[in-house]
Structure 1
Amino acid sequence: MYLYNVTLILDDAAADEWQQWMQESHIPEVMATGKFISNRLLRVVDSPNEGVTFCAQYVAETIEDYESYQANFAPALQHELNERFKDRYVAFRTLMEYID
């Protein structure tokens, strides 16, 4: 299994709006792709960064599911994020493999 982690650092003024949008719109859209089996949204408590740091995590059963998501869905979903929160966040994405 694979964990797709998206870490975002948001301006303080955008954090509440972003969190609501994630919970009500973005995460349901990501899950509706059928490429992930679970998700989690976390807030980093001890971040050394200015602003508010969140991690959105999605679990894919196979690397093919993740790659399909990246090829077929991620560009449009990331575009929507950028349109709504342009210049109010930075993001980085990592893919991790579970070790049994």
Structure 2
Amino acid sequence: MLLYNVTLILEDSVVEEWLQWMQETHIPQVMATGMFLSHRLLKVLDSPNEGVTYCTQYIAENLENYETYQTVHAPALQEDLNERFKNRFVAYRTLMEFVSPIS
């Protein structure tokens, strides 16, 4: 099992719009790809950065599903994010492997 984590640091002025778009549009589109088993959206409370920081986490069953998502689906979905919120966020992405079982 893999955890794909997307962290965004957003300008204060776009947080509400972004949060609504994520919950109503983006996350459902990502999950509709069928490449992830589940997701969660978290707000970072102790971020050292200016702005507001959120993490969106997706659980992939295997590396093949993650790689398919990255090559087939991610470019268009990320482009939509970039167009809607251009120059108002910074994003970074990490892929992690579970070492112990999910409880």
> What TM-score results when the alignment is normalised by the length of structure 1?
0.99
Partner of 2:95: 95
State the AA in 2 paired with 1:99: V
Secondary structure of the equivalent of 2:76?
A: helix
> How far does residue 86 in structure 1 lie from its aligned partner after superposition?
0.1
Aligned residues: CA RMSD? 0.4
Partner of 1:37: 37
> How far does residue 89 in structure 1 lie from its aligned partner after superposition?
0.1
State the AA in 2 paired with 1:56: T
Q: Does 1:19 align with 2:4?
A: no
How many residues in Structure 1 have an aligned counterpart in Structure 2? 100
Distance across 2 between alignment mates of 1:85 and 1:54: 14
> How far does residue 24 in structure 1 lie from its aligned partner after superposition?
0.2
Secondary structure of the equivalent of 1:28?
A: helix
Q: Deviations over 1:38-75 (max 9, x none)?
A: 00000000111000000000000000000000000000
Distance across 2 between alignment mates of 1:6 and 1:26: 12
Distance across 2 between alignment mates of 1:55 and 1:68: 21
How high is the sequence identity, in percent, across the aligned residues? 68
Distance across 2 between alignment mates of 1:53 and 1:9: 4
Q: Deviations over 1:8-58 (max 9, x none)?
A: 000000111100000000000000000000000000001110000000000
Distance across 1 between alignment mates of 2:43 and 2:17: 14
Q: Where does 1:1-100 land on structure 2 (aligned, <5 Å)?
A: 1-100=1-100
Distance across 2 between alignment mates of 1:46 and 1:99: 25
> What TM-score results when the alignment is normalised by the length of structure 2?
0.96
Secondary structure of the equivalent of 2:58?
A: strand
